[in-house]
Structure 1
Amino acid sequence: MDERSTSELIVTLGEDFQRCYANVIKDIENGEKQDDGTTLADHEFNARQLVRAGFALIEGVSFALKIAAIDDAIENGIELTQAEIDFAFEVSHQLNEKGKVVEVSAHINLTKNIKFAFNLYSKAHSLNQSFDAGLTWWSDLKKAIKIRDRLMHPRSPENLDIEPNEVITVISAVRGFEALLVEYIGKKA
């Protein structure tokens, strides 16, 4: 069996996002400069890829953070509830047709999942830090989720259009998420 690591996942997702970012910048640099200072660029394909890559990064790293938090909690002697462990692994339970309990995939709202990941990490390291949802990147993340949802579930051709300010919103959300991750990991006890 091929042994692949969580760090490989994180690195690959980060590289994908950086590559998409570089492609969008290249599209804009190669665009036609207008008299009013704007640029006409064929950036939308790469911009849509940037959105997808950004959310893959956020979701993949959030999952990895939760799993790392469980490992660290065990190592640090921090007791976690079974519910915390189940949510970290994104597992839920329900009854099947025979009345037996079965594991199913937990469908967790992304913003709640991100808060949970950071709070679980904080608990695992006895950090005196609670998640701050008042930061600019968090507001941008909520806007970016709507952009992602529109792109992933298009109902009309216009749903695939992505404006430059939407690209900036997604980049702000991803960079803010990354900065918070670095901050939490840097405070590790």
Structure 2
Amino acid sequence: MTDTNVSARDDDEEDENPQEIAAALIQMLDADVERIIARYDKLLETMFANGVTREQYQEYDGERESLSREIFRAFFAYVEGTVFSLKQYAMIQLGLLDQPLEPCEVDAVLECTWRMRDNGVVEYKPANITFMQNLLFMVRLQERLHGLEKQLDRNSIWFRCLAGSVHVRDRVMHPKHPSDLEVDVEDLKTLWLARTGFIALLEKFMGPRPWKLPDVWLHRPERMPEDMRLDVRKALGLDPGGTDWPGWPGRGN
């Protein structure tokens, strides 16, 4: 007997747009962080409200510590999911622009590497890529895709805060001692700065939130493949050899 649910799901997966999937993942992870921060803020309001007993305060403080750890987990899930999604998005778009990635870059996008076994069979395995390496690689791909240069200053305050927050994330995610689970106010302040800078970085590539991932020439028509660019300019009644795009969405008058 055919499982109609499985068949329907397979059909849906074939119709899925990888750019829509990536955008949806980024939006969901971003919303997770926002929700946890809202819960944290509401808890603080309750903790410092009039009439809270010492016993209640201690109970709330335990919840505050738990939410602090959740914020770190959710934020880094958001960053890592976004980095992976934007790498794949850049790979697809650069391919459409006749600027395909090198094979080694494709492996880095997919976060895999390979080895040759003694019997001559090639097998793939997960690549050992650090968090920062992955982030910087994503930025390089986005810069290439959008024709931009050096959008990330590694000496900026937010980036240094991000690097510091990685260490907090690591000990919270892989604790060896009860003290590894401690997240203090300074840790959260550092994470806040990192988050602000990361969002500003994403806006350079995707514009303001809510984020979408359209074909790159929808907002940068000058980067269309030449044959498509000429056809579109003719259809718009524009000089085929011109560079202006009047009336194009997001491109002015």
TM-score after normalising by structure 2: 0.67
State the alpha-carbon separation in 2 of the partners of residues 8 and 184 from structure 1.
16
Quote the offset at 1:130 in angstroms.
4.8
For 2:178 and 2:194, locate their aligned partners in 1 and report how far apart those are by CA, in whole Å: 25
1:25 paired residue number: 41
CA distance in 2, matches of 1:130, 1:181: 10
1:147 aligns with 2:168: yes
C-alpha distance in structure 1 between counterparts of 2:117 and 2:48, whole Å: 59
Q: CA deviation at 1:97?
A: 5.4
Structure 1 residue 31, shift from structure 2 partner: 1.8
Q: Is the 8 A contact 2:115 2:124 kept in 1?
A: yes
Q: CA deviation at 1:112?
A: 1.1
Question: How many angstroms apart in 1 are the aligned matches of 2:163 and 2:199?
Answer: 16
CA apart distance, 1:77: 1.8
**Percent identity over paired residues:** 30
Provide the rounded CA distance (Å) in 1 between the counterparts of 2:159 and 2:118: 41
Matched residue type, 1:28: L
Report how far residue 108 of structure 1 moved. 0.8
> Which of 61, 74, 99 in structure 1 is aligned with 2:95?
74
SS in 2 for 1:27: helix
Aligned-partner Cα distance in 1 for 2:142–2:179:
40
Separation of aligned partners in 1, 2:120 and 2:70: 43
> Of 162, 170, 177, which residue of structure 2 is paired with 1:156?
177
Comparing 93-102 with 114-123, greater Cα deviation is found at 93-102
Paired residue for 1:36? none
Match of 1:92 among 108, 113, 127: 113
Distance 1:130 1:84, change over 3 A: farther
The structural deviation recorded for 1:26 is: 1.5
Matched, 1:127 2:143: no
Structure 1 unaligned spans of 5+: 34-38
What TM-score do you get using the length of structure 1 for normalisation? 0.88
1:46 to 56, 63, 67: 67
Instruction: Check whether the contact 1:73–1:125 (CA below 8 A) recurs between aligned residues.
Output: no
Kept after mapping to 2: 8 A contact 1:6/1:64: yes
Distance 1:185 1:72, change over 3 A: same
1:90, distance to aligned residue in structure 2 (A): 0.7
Shift in Å, 1:23: 1.4
Tell me, yes or no, if the aligned pair for 1:67 and 1:88 is still in contact at 8 Å: yes
Mapped to 1, the partners of 2:117 and 2:46 lie a distance apart of 56
Tell me the distance in 2 between the aligned counterparts of 1:149 and 1:128: 31
Change (3 A) 1:164 1:78: same
Q: Aligned-pair RMSD on alpha carbons? A: 2.1
Alpha-carbon displacement from aligned partner over 1:79-107 (angstroms, at most 9, x marks no partner): 32111111011111123453422111112
Secondary structure of 1:133's partner? coil
